[in-house]
Amino acid sequence: MFDNICKFLVENFSSDFATWLLGESINLTELSPKELSLEPIRADALILLQSEQSILHLEFQTQVDPEIPFRMIDYRLRAYRRFPDKAMHQVVIYLKQTNSNLVQQNTFTIVGTRHEFAVIRLWEQPTEVFLRTPGLLPLAVLSNTIDPEVILNEVAQEINSITELRTQSNIAASTAILAGLVLDKEVIKRVLRSDIMRESAIYQDILQEGKAEGKAEGKAEGKAEGKAEALLEVARNLFNTGMPLEHIGRVTGLSIEQLQYLQASQSRESNQ
């Protein structure tokens, strides 16, 4: 779930991440893993963006993985094979603090070969970096602070100042999910407005799907919201049965990402 949220942020606020990681606000577009023939090696976890001159490769991790160094050199070589003239910037971003030495690893080394990549441990990063642009706001609560609740309140104020409703709701929903790595759900629910998160991309996707089907059947648009609410209620009830998300998806027609978000929301509500 967390890597999906980070992927959403990077793809929708690529200039904010480029400014942070590359030092310049350049235009980045999505690079499909298929172009690098990466399907056999966790292609779904890749975040690849490109400009005319460079490729930005990001990996967000909540837990340590000893295979990270190998994956980084493997991705680098595959990218070089496809785009030999493009520079490649590779960054592993660890979201949750750990004492494991694996989060210090930034090289892959075997006899005769050495490859380096960047590593960012968010809990060591200054908070102010993430308060400058909307796309980075959800990461602020994971930064270097002794009181993440205070930072969450600052982020909430910044979110409230965002004038574009869809952007505001998407940032709020993303913040709520990532904040769950360091804060209790009750705290998150108290600080972030649920009415804003209701307008997030996930809920709206469900709503729009319902509207499209309703119009095709000659029904009133008001039926669409009722259908969206009904789908949500069915999914919530199935969560309580312990049914796997894949099966719930088949029953409701919702994606795994949508179900994961709803499951997290239900968990927050139950802990109020």
Residue 211 domain flag: yes
Does residue 193 sit in the same domain as residue 207? no
Asked, for residue 131, whether it belongs to a domain, the answer is no
**117/69 Cα distance (integer angstroms):** 8
The predicted structure's pLDDT at residue 234: 67
Interhelix angle 222-241/201-216, nearest 10 degrees: 120
User: 45-49, 126-130, 201-205: which has the minimum mean pLDDT?
Assistant: 201-205
Question: Does residue 217 register a pLDDT over 60?
Answer: no
Tokens of 150: 């205070």
- Are residues 158 and 62 part of one domain? no
What's the whole-number mean pLDDT along residues 245-271? 71
Looking at residue 7, its amino acid is K
**pLDDT score of 17:** 93
Looking at residue 25, its pLDDT comes to 79
Examine the pLDDT at 75 and tell me if it is beyond 80. Answer: yes
Which of the four pLDDT bands, split at 50, 70 and 90, describes residue 118? very high
Query: Can you give the pLDDT at residue 4?
Result: 75
| Residues 192, 209 share a domain | no
For 272, the token pair is 């109020």
Q: Among 74-83, 134-143, 232-241, name the one with the lowest average pLDDT.
A: 232-241
* pLDDT at residue 52 tops 70: yes
- Where is pLDDT greater, at 82 or 220? 82
pTM higher than the cut 0.75: no
The CA-based dihedral angle spanning residues 208, 212, 218, 222, taken in that order and rounded to the nearest 10 degrees: 0
Same domain, residue pair 166 and 223? no
pLDDT value at 128 more than 70: yes
Count of domains forming the chain: 3
Same domain, 215 and 241: yes
At which of 197, 215, 240 does a domain end? 197
Among 197, 219, 249, residue at a domain's last position:
197
Residue 17 belongs to some domain of the structure: yes
Residue type, 180: G
CA distance linking residue 120 with residue 254, whole number of Å: 34
76 and 145 assigned to the same domain: no
Which pLDDT does position 106 carry in this prediction? Answer: 96
pLDDT in the model for residue 44: 47
In-domain check, residue 74: yes
- pLDDT > 90 in the chain, percent: 39
pLDDT over 70, % of the chain: 72
**Does residue 111 sit in the same domain as residue 46?**
yes
* 130 within domain boundaries: no
More confident residue, 172 or 195: 172
Same domain for 187 and 221 = no
Same domain, 188 and 207: no
Higher pLDDT: 99 or 246? It is 99
Determine, yes or no, domain membership for 230: yes
In a domain, 129, yes or no: no
**Is residue 117 domain-shared with residue 29, that is, in the same domain?**
yes
**124, 154, 174 - which closes a domain:** 124
Tell me which of 9-18, 23-32, 52-61 is least confident: 23-32
Q: By three-state DSSP, how is residue 251 classified? A: helix
- C-alpha atoms less than 13 angstroms from C-alpha of 112 in its C-beta half-sphere: 0
Q: Are residues 75 and 148 in the same domain?
A: no
Domain assignment of residue 62, yes or no? yes
Pair (92, 171) in one structural domain: no
Structure confidence at residue 1 (pLDDT): 65
| Domain extent at residue 93 | 2-124
Average pLDDT, the chain: 81
